[in-house]
Structure 1
Amino acid sequence: MRNDIKAVIAGIGAAATLLQLAAWLIARQHWAPFAPLALAEPALWRVPLVALECVSGAVAGPIAWRLIRNSEAAGYYMASMILAALAAVAIVGVVTWAHGGSPAQGWLIRCEAAALAGGFWGFGFALYMHGLRRLP
């Protein structure tokens, strides 16, 4: 139970810091329309986008923790980064397909940007969990 609470905290922390850093890098290089610390409200929601990212980090944290907790050494960080990157690309694919979009122009760029952002989140999550593991 305590590890799940730590995973929620780590997921929120990773979404609020390293995911925003990835969004800033992606926006700075003009790879995809990412907005770091986006306070704009997406359609159908009355919550800033950065808050939704933190909520998704809180949900993904315990799931990721259960999948990577038995990894050792560098495998712990790599498993977290690869898992998060694959999940982000899968979500982009499902959302694009559900909205009737076709994998046309910009598809690969969106997937690469999602993988980069997911990898950053995964690395941040692993760092936060490593730090929180030592707490009682």
Structure 2
Amino acid sequence: MWHQQEIHFPEMPQGFHLVTDDIARALPCLAECSQGLLHLQLMHTSASLTLNENTDPDVRHDLDAFIRRLVPEGLDYFRHTLEGPDDMPAHVAASLLGAQLTLAVRDGRLALGTWQGVWLGEHRSQGGARRLLATLNGC
């Protein structure tokens, strides 16, 4: 079985957002797949996807704080500034974390570890709606 579709997310505030359940709800065909792979590709250059701790909200806070400190706004050597002071730092953060994940599917569900979840990292203060291309292959 091959299935591909876009998943749409509304504009979210800057930070990390747990989207595991949103992805699973948008893909009812997961239930038909006993084993396979789900590839997720974020169709943007200033946001990211990452797999990490899904329970303690402090992890999301701490990762956001670290990324903002690692790539702060207002660095004087950035040239790409026409879209605002948060744009180039958002591109750097997205490149560091990545814009795609490939996840195993087992018994009709994402095969995640006990504490794992998929996060969408919004690295702009007003990034707008986001699109995620999901491609499922399995049987």
Q: TM-score, normalised by structure 1?
A: 0.37
The structure with the largest strand share of the pair is: 2
Of structures 1 and 2, the one scoring higher in RCO (CA 8 A, sep 6+) is: 2
The structure with the larger Rg is 2
